Amino acid sequence: MSHIPTDLFYAKSHEWLKVAADGTALIGITDYAQSSLGDITFVQLPKAGSTFAAGETFGVVESVKAASDLYAPVAFTVLESNALLDGNPETLNTSPYEAGWMMKVKPAAAGTDGLLDAAAYAQHIG
């Protein structure tokens, strides 16, 4: 069974969003996603200042099994990408919710409409 933290919001495409008190948010992929991908070998993330609409492709994760697009859980502007992942993409396998966060973003609007809570995400992945 995948680990599903209760303090995050989830997209059906297996990205997570953690909203901070200052209105910024962290984005990453779920434990279920990293487990399904297998050993992650490369991550392509956007530069600071890039903007994305909800549902738009923002990057790619490559593993020994496949390459998978990453989708924006909400509309946002990138503030920072996790530089650790440049040389250590396997961090997504070992720590998808902590050290393996992908980006710090400024959501275009407050709220998490369209995202799932932990219980709904657990149901989604079965």
- Least Cα distance to 112 among 79, 77, 80, 75 occurs for 75
Check if the beta carbon of residue 95 is closer than 8 Å to that of residue 3: no
pTM (two decimals):
0.96
Tens of pLDDT, residues 27-64: 999 999 999 999 999 999 999 999 999 999 999 999 99
Closest CA to 34 of 5, 75, 12, 62: 62
For residue 13, the surrounding DSSP H or E stretch is none
> What pLDDT, in 10s, does the model give residues 91-124?
999 999 999 999 999 999 988 999 999 999 999 9
For residue 92, the domain's CATH number is: 2.40.50.100
Let me know if residue 67 belongs to a domain.
Answer: yes
DSSP 110: S
The number of domains in the chain is 1
Say if 124 falls within a structural domain.
no
Contacts of 116 (CB under 8 A, 6+ apart): 9, 10, 11, 12, 124
The domain in which residue 45 lies consists of 9-109
In a domain, 119, yes or no: no
CA atoms of 75 and 116, how far apart (whole Å): 16
- 32 located within any domain: yes
